[in-house]
Amino acid sequence: MTNLKISGTFSLGGRKVTRLGYGAMQLAGPGVFGPPKDRAGALAVLREAVAAGVDHIDTSDFYGPHITNQLIREALHPYAKDLVIVTKVGATRGADASWNPAQSPAQLTQAVHDNLRNLGLDVLDVVNLRVMGDVHAPSEGSIEEQFTALAQLQQQGLIRHLGLSNVTSTQVAEAQRIAEVVCVQNHYNLVHRHDDALLDELGEKGIAYVPFFPLGGFTPLQSETLSKVAQGLDATPMQVALAWLLARAPNMLLIPGTSSTAHLKENLAAAELVLADDVLAELEAIGQKKG
Ligand SMILES: NC(=O)c1ccc[n+]([C@@H]2O[C@H](COP(=O)([O-])OP(=O)(O)OC[C@H]3O[C@@H](n4cnc5c(N)ncnc54)[C@H](OP(=O)(O)O)[C@@H]3O)[C@@H](O)[C@H]2O)c1
């Protein structure tokens, strides 16, 4: 079994977690909507992740909606003491599977209660405010009202720690004036490098950076260089993409998503894959061409 600790740990909400975690979004049905095709398989992925040493799972009550959290509860409740479950609020799903902003204080409060109920918890470990100014990429605009609402729920004891998702550096600074920010979850991977500066800035502040779409998301990464490097290392392209992220910065925490136990094991094995400097330089060039 892979020794996940080999790639180190980083602080996430006052607890040290292994840098390779698991993102649960892929467990819902197609388009992250409705129940999974293989419910037993989805439960098995979650149990396998924790059995393999994963102590950081990323989720949201808008995956499904509700379904992913209900699967996590069924598979893993009562939760291991060292498991950190990070959820996010700020959107709802339409009957047509659309993703719609839900950022008013009342909607955020409702979302926190939905997460508590569906995960079977009295307090949520970490809640990310998923900013929806531009659904697909960060865009400037005040998040004071939303983050203040979550800070109030934290003060009421419903949330231990707060994070942000889909945000700019200015928004991180604005949020930090309201409450502590323990993590930022933005789109980042080997070919999508818009956040290089923010990642380094957060590292200096000791804040975890947790990229979504670490493997490219709905369209997994494809690159000739990546495939060639992987072949030379007797690894898979996805393992190399994850190992590159781990090497990129110590505050990088990974949550690759999968609905397959075979892919889960493959992804976790990336914790043991060390990339030499010349390989890192070769991979770096991919991002400079496309990022
Ligand atoms: N904050 C946000 O706005 C936001 C947005 C998106 C996602 N997220 C979070 O980030 C997590 C990660 O993102 P993601 O799951 O969307 O994308 P991802 O981790 O980049 O990629 C997942 C995709 O890669 C495939 N895959 C996984 N491992 C593979 C392997 N070893 N070989 C080949 N294909 C593989 C998966 O298919 P299989 O199921 O077939 O393995 C799935 O199609 C999510 O689970 C979610 O928790 C957050």
- φ, ψ for residue 158, nearest 5 deg: -90, -15
- φ, ψ for residue 33, nearest 5 deg: -135, 130
Burial group, residue 36, by CB count within 10 angstroms (0-12, 13-18, 19+)? buried
**Euclidean distance between CA atoms 99 and 64, whole angstroms:** 11
Query: What six digits make up the tokens of 68?
Result: 């992913």
Cis omega before residue 211 (within 30°)?
Answer: no
**What pLDDT shows up at residue 288?**
75
Q: In the predicted model, what is the mean pLDDT of the chain?
A: 96
Atom of ligand 1 nearest to the CA of 239: 31
The count of C-alpha atoms lying within 13 angstroms of the C-alpha of 65, restricted to the half-sphere facing its C-beta, is: 18
Instruction: Please tell me which residue, 165 or 2, carries the higher pLDDT value.
Output: 165
Q: Pick the catalytic residue from 63, 79, 188, 209.
A: 63
Is the Cβ atom of 217 under 6 angstroms away from ligand 1? yes
Query: What six digits make up the tokens of 222?
Result: 């494809």
**Euclidean distance between CA atoms 62 and 272, whole angstroms:** 33
**Euclidean distance between CA atoms 93 and 30, whole angstroms:** 14
**What pLDDT shows up at residue 289?**
61
Query: What six digits make up the tokens of 120?
Result: 């079977």
Q: Rounded to the nearest whole angstrom, what is the distance from the C-alpha of residue 156 to the centroid of ligand 1?
A: 33
**Euclidean distance between CA atoms 69 and 184, whole angstroms:** 21
| pLDDT tops 70 at residue 190 | yes
Residue owning the nearest CA to atom 45 of ligand 1: 23
Q: Predicted confidence band at 180 (pLDDT cuts at 50, 70, 90)?
A: very high
Record the pTM: 0.98
**What pLDDT shows up at residue 136?**
83
CA distances from 106 to 153, 176, 178 (A): 11, 22, 18
Residue owning the nearest CA to atom 6 of ligand 1: 212
**Euclidean distance between CA atoms 127 and 110, whole angstroms:** 13
Query: What six digits make up the tokens of 31?
Result: 């388009």
Q: Rounded to the nearest whole angstrom, what is the distance from the C-alpha of residue 211 to the centroid of ligand 1?
A: 11
Is 63 among the catalytic positions? Answer: yes
- Mean pLDDT, residues 247-267: 98
| pLDDT tops 60 at residue 31 | yes
- Mean pLDDT, residues 27-42: 97
Mutate to test the pocket of ligand 1, among 69, 258, 266 (most ligand atoms within 8 A of CB): 258
- Mean pLDDT, residues 100-123: 98
| pLDDT tops 90 at residue 291 | no
The number of beta carbons lying within 10 Å of the beta carbon of residue 202 is 22
- Encode pLDDT of 57-110 as tens digits: 999 999 999 999 999 999 999 999 999 999 999 999 999 999 999 999 999 999
Is the Cβ atom of 101 under 6 angstroms away from ligand 1? no
- Mean pLDDT, residues 141-160: 98
The 10 Å CB-count burial string (b at 16+, else e) for 111-144 is bbebbbebbebeebbbbbbbbbbeeeebeeeebe
**Sign of dihedral through CA atoms 88, 54, 64, 31?**
positive
- Encode pLDDT of 198-217 as tens digits: 999 999 999 999 999 999 99
Q: Rounded to the nearest whole angstrom, what is the distance from the C-alpha of residue 178 to the centroid of ligand 1?
A: 31
**Euclidean distance between CA atoms 216 and 197, whole angstroms:** 20
Residue owning the nearest CA to atom 27 of ligand 1: 258
| pLDDT tops 80 at residue 18 | yes
Q: Predicted confidence band at 1 (pLDDT cuts at 50, 70, 90)?
A: confident
**Euclidean distance between CA atoms 156 and 245, whole angstroms:** 36
The number of beta carbons lying within 10 Å of the beta carbon of residue 265 is 15
Is the Cβ atom of 129 under 6 angstroms away from ligand 1? no
